[in-house]
Chain A
Amino acid sequence: MVKTYKENFERYFIVIPIITLIFIVMLYIYFLLPTLEKNLSKEIQTMFVQEVSYFLQNVEDHIKHDIDNKSILDIFFKNESLRKKYEDELSLLLSPNIKYVYMLYLDKDGKFRYLLDASKEDKARPHQKFDVLDDDWYKVVKTKKDLIIKEDQIDSIWITYLKPLVNHNKLEAILVVDFSVKKLQEINGLIANIKLIVVAVLVFIGLAFNFILYQIIKYGRLKKKTYIDTLTQAYNRVFLSEMAAKLRLDNFAILAIDVDHFKMVNDTYGHEAGDKVLKEIARRIKSSIREAEDLFIRYGGEEFLLLIRKSGDRKKMEQFIERLRKIIGENPIKINDKENIKVTVSIGVNFDTDKAKGLDEAIKIADHMLYEAKRKGRDRVEIYNENIKIQNTDISLNDVKDALLEKRIISYYQPVFDLHKMKPIRYEVLARMKDRQGNIVPPNVFLDIIRGTNIYFDFTKYILESNIDMLKENHTISISINLSILDILNNDIINLIKEKVSPDIANRISFEVLESEEIENYQLIAKRLEIIKQTGAQIAIDDFGSGYSNFVHIANLNLDALKIDGSLIRNIDKDETSYKIVKTIKLFCDEINIEAVAEFVSSEKIFKKVKEIGIPYGQGFYLAKPMSFEEMLSFNKKFG
């Protein structure tokens, strides 16, 4: 799986070869420039010389015509006006690119001398000696053919074009044209500019290359940071959601791992200790898995997801998961210099990922099994099989979160009756969620999704705040609100109750603690309930008799009421044992002087039995169904 992350990252490295290619091309152009310069100057030289050559050919023709087969030197020496005429004719060639045009002859000592000079500047006198720097000049004497000399030793002249004037197979004079270095300088300037542009592009590419490289490294680090949970170094949910589409889900088994009693660790030893515990557990998990094959994700506060690649041998995988649970819980975790604490985890496993519609559903099943593991006493592994029914809804954690933000969590109210006066004494608050289509979603559907997350506490706070506000505006209404053990242990919830439950409403509000969630530390719970009681609110135990009831502990909790579980009331008219248990609970309530309330009074028969036992308060469909706020107000009015 890590490979996939790398693949994702390496995609950005495609840019580097492209830039390198451009860089190489530009570098090639740079080294090609001298050749280009050479060829360009050669081309221009040919072009210029050709033009001049045609011109000089015409001059030669004119001269030959004028001398009429006689010696050029004789005629020119004697005829000054003819010299002048040709000086004028040759001067037509002069331009910024052609600096000097003149005619030379070779004297008997082999010295070059001027015959005429059409140049405007540095004009020489006839017969004046002309020194040559290069012996190449004498080649033209030998070959009697046109010659181009590159004047490397002269700064102001680029090339000199020599055209021999041959008469009767004898070289008599040479027409000379000096090309100015200006054109060469222009070419060089042009090439220099191109060079400059190429260098600038190379520098730019170099900088861009470095910049992109820096960005890639930075991006890589950032991406890693985005994907990795800093505390545990496990992947986070962002990574999981990005991977979801690419993941071959059927290749993996999903393990939902949750640290048992983590909140207590945090509350007792502080968050620093909690962080140490999470870090160590993550380390233990990581050291047990194949990091290149498996995916380890911090899914929530103290919940991890482990996607392990299926090996084909289910039994071996089950053994590995059991071993993993033992490894995590085996050795105590050092939280400071003095204390080590033993921490266990509960694991929910979903092997049947191939049957899930998607990752969310597969996780939900693993999560459900995790909840089962918790329910069955924690520090255990629960594996999903097809016989286990999981309520299949499309509701996700985010849906509940959104519903809270959009105030789509609403309260329904079911009256609790004084069975003697047949009047409602209070209304139990029952939360419902409205989906975006306006459908009412029952609490059993969404509470399991949010349990163990912070949203669960946000949900409780919302229900508390909205109903306390309602009480302040409706003085004839009394309510009871359910609290889980998790709520009771949460400081924020307790502080909220302390702050919000003012004396004017305290006698109209009671809190029902769900007895079906096992209470392990009765002393702690008792302390917390005492804080609530100090506000003036009443405390009741909900679902008493659902299987975890302990009369001794209940007697010590300083309660105001006890709600007998529906599973007992439901059978009271048919089952003798249920009848007897309910009766005993009633007697117990009388003994410790608390109210007994019968839930699930769903028929007349049950109602009569409840009355017969003498339970003073009752609640159920037979008496009244849950109703909306407005219905509750009008219902309450009927009873004055």
Chain B
Amino acid sequence: MKKILITFFLIIGFSFGYTVNELRLEAKIFEKVSVYLLSKKPVKVYILDNDLKLIVRYSPYLQKVDDPKKADMIITSQKLPTELITLNKIVIGTKYFLLKEKYVTGAIFWHKGRPNIILLRDRLKAHKIKPPKVLEKYVEDRIW
């Protein structure tokens, strides 16, 4: 059953234009950023979209949870419904435009075929997160 699901997600992943290389790279980035930000292993994540679930498959330190309340972080490619916003979790978007949403802490997204990371300083601060030095180059004071 598990294998069938993985195959299913892989098919979905590819149908959205991802390649295995990109998926692995994206998963690695998500994992690193999450672990550095929260300074814990594993990081419990609530994933809103099915096509993002493969990220967890390639990230041993990311643990998918079904209950968003138990999550340390929410990963989304779309705007969150109000009930999730009110949980006040760290939210990482997979699209640049999501940064416009105030509840989105940062974004890890593909731009011109390359992975990009943007973490917004004030939103990190709101979650009482001081970004480690290794993430400093991805921290932005504003959205352009």
A interface list, Cβ under 8 A from B: 99-100, 102, 109-111, 113, 119, 122, 124-133, 151, 153-157, 178
Bound CA–CA A130/B144 (angstroms): 12
Out of A128, A154, A155, A157, name the residue touching B144 (CB < 8 Å): A128
A131 touches B114 (CB 8 A): yes
**B residues less than 8 Å from A102 (CB atoms):** 112
A-B contact pairs, 14 of them (CB 8 A): A110-B137, A122-B111, A129-B138, A129-B144, A131-B115, A131-B117, A151-B113, A155-B21, A155-B22, A157-B112, A157-B113, A157-B114, A178-B112, A178-B113
A111 touches B114 (CB 8 A): no
A119 touches B112 (CB 8 A): yes
B47 within 8 A of A: no
A119-B112, A125-B144 in contact; A131/B22 too (CB < 8 A)?
Answer: no
**A residues less than 8 Å from B63 (CB atoms):** none
A126-B144, A127-B144 in contact; A133/B115 too (CB < 8 A)?
Answer: yes
Bound CA–CA A265/B80 (angstroms): 112
A154 touches B111 (CB 8 A): no
**B residues less than 8 Å from A130 (CB atoms):** 111, 114, 116
**A residues less than 8 Å from B22 (CB atoms):** 155
**A residues less than 8 Å from B96 (CB atoms):** 128
- How close is B13's CB to chain A, nearest CB, in angstroms? 13
Residue of A nearest to B140 (CB): A129
Bound CA–CA A127/B117 (angstroms): 15
- How close is B93's CB to chain A, nearest CB, in angstroms? 15
Given contacts A133-B115, A155-B21, 16 further A-B contacts (CB under 8 A): A99-B113, A100-B112, A100-B113, A102-B112, A122-B111, A122-B113, A129-B118, A129-B138, A129-B144, A132-B114, A133-B114, A153-B21, A155-B19, A155-B22, A155-B113, A178-B113
**A residues less than 8 Å from B111 (CB atoms):** 122, 124, 130
**B residues less than 8 Å from A178 (CB atoms):** 112-113
Interface centre among A128, A130, A151, A157 (most CB of B within 10 A): A128
B144 touches A131 (CB 8 A): no
- How close is B38's CB to chain A, nearest CB, in angstroms? 21
A109-B137, A155-B22 in contact; A122/B112 too (CB < 8 A)?
Answer: yes
Secondary structure at chain B's binding surface: helix, strand, loop or mixed?
A: mixed
A153 touches B144 (CB 8 A): no
A127-B144, A155-B19 in contact; A111/B137 too (CB < 8 A)?
Answer: yes
B116 touches A156 (CB 8 A): no
B25 touches A153 (CB 8 A): yes
Out of B19, B112, B116, name the residue touching A129 (CB < 8 Å): B116
A131 touches B116 (CB 8 A): yes
Would you give the 0/1 interface string for B66-90, flagging 1 where the beta carbon is closer than 8 Å to chain A? 0000000000000000000000000
Tally of B interface residues using CB under 8 Å: 17
Q: Which of B94-144 contact A (CB under 8 A)?
A: 96, 111-118, 137-138, 140, 144
Would you give the 0/1 interface string for B19-34, flagging 1 where the beta carbon is closer than 8 Å to chain A? 1011001000000000
**A residues less than 8 Å from B137 (CB atoms):** 109-111
Residue of A nearest to B108 (CB): A131
Bound CA–CA A131/B119 (angstroms): 12
Bound CA–CA A127/B143 (angstroms): 9
**B residues less than 8 Å from A132 (CB atoms):** 114
**A residues less than 8 Å from B140 (CB atoms):** 129
**B residues less than 8 Å from A155 (CB atoms):** 19, 21-22, 113
- How close is A410's CB to chain B, nearest CB, in angstroms? 94
Bound CA–CA A606/B70 (angstroms): 148
A125-B144, A128-B144, A129-B118 in contact; A154/B138 too (CB < 8 A)?
Answer: no
Bound CA–CA A110/B22 (angstroms): 26
Residue of A nearest to B116 (CB): A131
Bound CA–CA A133/B21 (angstroms): 14
Residue of B nearest to A152 (CB): B21
Bound CA–CA A537/B99 (angstroms): 131
Q: Which of B1-55 contact A (CB under 8 A)?
A: 19, 21-22, 25
**B residues less than 8 Å from A157 (CB atoms):** 112-114
Residue of A nearest to B21 (CB): A155
Bound CA–CA A102/B111 (angstroms): 13
**A residues less than 8 Å from B144 (CB atoms):** 113, 125-129
Bound CA–CA A130/B96 (angstroms): 12
Residue of A nearest to B17 (CB): A156
Would you list the 7 A-B pairs with minimal beta carbon distance, nearest first? Answer: A156-B113, A127-B144, A154-B113, A155-B19, A131-B116, A157-B113, A128-B144
- How close is B27's CB to chain A, nearest CB, in angstroms? 14
B113 touches A131 (CB 8 A): no
A154 touches B114 (CB 8 A): yes
**B residues less than 8 Å from A154 (CB atoms):** 113-114
Bound CA–CA A151/B138 (angstroms): 21
- How close is A383's CB to chain B, nearest CB, in angstroms? 92
Bound CA–CA A153/B28 (angstroms): 13
Bound CA–CA A178/B113 (angstroms): 10
**B residues less than 8 Å from A111 (CB atoms):** 137
Bound CA–CA A109/B133 (angstroms): 13
Residue of B nearest to A176 (CB): B112
- How close is B138's CB to chain A, nearest CB, in angstroms? 7
Interface centre among A125, A126, A127, A129 (most CB of B within 10 A): A129
Bound CA–CA A129/B139 (angstroms): 10
Bound CA–CA A131/B22 (angstroms): 15
- How close is A176's CB to chain B, nearest CB, in angstroms? 9
Bound CA–CA A86/B144 (angstroms): 20
**A residues less than 8 Å from B117 (CB atoms):** 131
**B residues less than 8 Å from A131 (CB atoms):** 114-117, 138
- How close is A331's CB to chain B, nearest CB, in angstroms? 81
- How close is B92's CB to chain A, nearest CB, in angstroms? 15
Bound CA–CA A100/B114 (angstroms): 12
- How close is A188's CB to chain B, nearest CB, in angstroms? 15
Residue of B nearest to A100 (CB): B112
Interface centre among B113, B116, B118 (most CB of A within 10 A): B113
- How close is A100's CB to chain B, nearest CB, in angstroms? 5
Bound CA–CA A558/B98 (angstroms): 134
Bound CA–CA A119/B116 (angstroms): 17
Bound CA–CA A196/B128 (angstroms): 59
**B residues less than 8 Å from A133 (CB atoms):** 114-115
Bound CA–CA A573/B144 (angstroms): 152
Bound CA–CA A557/B137 (angstroms): 134
**A residues less than 8 Å from B116 (CB atoms):** 129-131
Residue of B nearest to A131 (CB): B116
**B residues less than 8 Å from A100 (CB atoms):** 112-113
- How close is A365's CB to chain B, nearest CB, in angstroms? 89
Interface centre among B19, B22, B112, B113 (most CB of A within 10 A): B112
Bound CA–CA A178/B114 (angstroms): 11
Bound CA–CA A591/B140 (angstroms): 152
Bound CA–CA A113/B116 (angstroms): 12
- How close is A21's CB to chain B, nearest CB, in angstroms? 42
